[in-house]
Structure 1
């Protein structure tokens, strides 16, 4: 998102959340009503001094007014652009699908388990949840003290901040999609 647009949306959102009219914010900040209107419409590029006055009047740190999430809802990740990690003596391959995204607090991986492969990742941060979906094959999954046998298109959600592991239970490669969600 363009910085002027991000600043405009941040000021307007914060002003409205504090139930301040434009006139009231203009009076409390010392920024003219017309300049404030131009800023909120994204038509003006406010100086650092003006941003400081607005932040003070809104009672927020100035950097909050500059936040720009940069979230792009459309993102293409090509397999050739990712680097796989070989595990379990090369019998397991973990490949990023979508890297960690701060806005969604999520990341995704493909996991290929060749015949007799095991994958026991490190325990994740507190509050992390994994959604494991079997794309092909049969997988033994031990999570939260229980063992599950998942078949093609089966899915299981479990706490990834505890010990868990995957094991290929079929006579061919088993493939999974792992989606990790980091709760606030």
Structure 2
């Protein structure tokens, strides 16, 4: 799947989720802090939004970023196996990081798996905080090194390290190394209390 096709599928997904939540473009803009005009461009597939913008949109919809990439092929019934060729892979135009959703799209599950290739020197900072329902995330570093700052605390990860955290504070990722960082992210939506 090329970037243009993926942008159009993300556009359709954002529009579907916004309409499903009963929100106008203005309503979502007020919730997520992304301008109405940018949301309109995203929904028409006329822009390549950054990871930071998409995370703000997801937060405004009460979702984890990974859920914007849960893109079942048009007209296809959900399948329990996500074949490699069908896994959506997206590159952040700002940092160059690549994410690939591993979880089969459309399958009802509380957990999502994402594989990330994070270039040397890359930084991404997500400013959003707590969300409902709450989301727990684990980052398992397969190769390279990674700094993850959650709120005021910075964690330095080496290959093989795994960080568990709740998505309830601003979070920043930075690859201080000279090699790409490869990691797996597992996200789980926690049941309402």
Shorter-normalised TM range: 0.5 to 0.7
CA distance in 2, matches of 1:145, 1:99: 34
Match in the other structure for 2:181: 174
Unaligned runs of 5+ in 1: 1-70
Partners of 1:110 and 1:177 within 8 A in 2: yes
Normalised by the size of structure 2, how large is the TM-score?
0.51
User: How far did 1:140 drift?
Assistant: 0.5
Q: Counterpart of 1:171 in 2: which secondary structure?
A: coil
CA distance in 2, matches of 1:80, 1:102: 17
Of 161, 173, 179 in structure 1, the residue corresponding to residue 168 of structure 2 is 161
User: How far did 1:100 drift?
Assistant: 6.5
Match in the other structure for 1:20: none
CA distance in 2, matches of 1:76, 1:121: 30
- RMSD value, Cα: 2.6
Structure ID, larger Rg: 1
What is the number of residues matched between the two proteins? 113
Of 56, 70, 86 in structure 2, the residue corresponding to residue 81 of structure 1 is 86
Query: Aligned ranges for residues 96-135 of structure 1 at < 5 Å?
Result: 96-99=101-104, 104-121=109-126, 123=128, 125-126=131-132, 127-135=134-142
CA distance in 2, matches of 1:163, 1:99: 28
User: How far did 1:108 drift?
Assistant: 1.1
Which ranges of 4 or more aligned residues in structure 1 deviate by more than 6 Å? none
CA distance in 1, matches of 2:186, 2:175: 19
Query: Aligned ranges for residues 6-25 of structure 1 at < 5 Å?
Result: none
Match in the other structure for 1:183: 190
Q: Counterpart of 1:98 in 2: which secondary structure?
A: coil
CA distance in 2, matches of 1:119, 1:79: 26
User: How far did 1:77 drift?
Assistant: 2.2
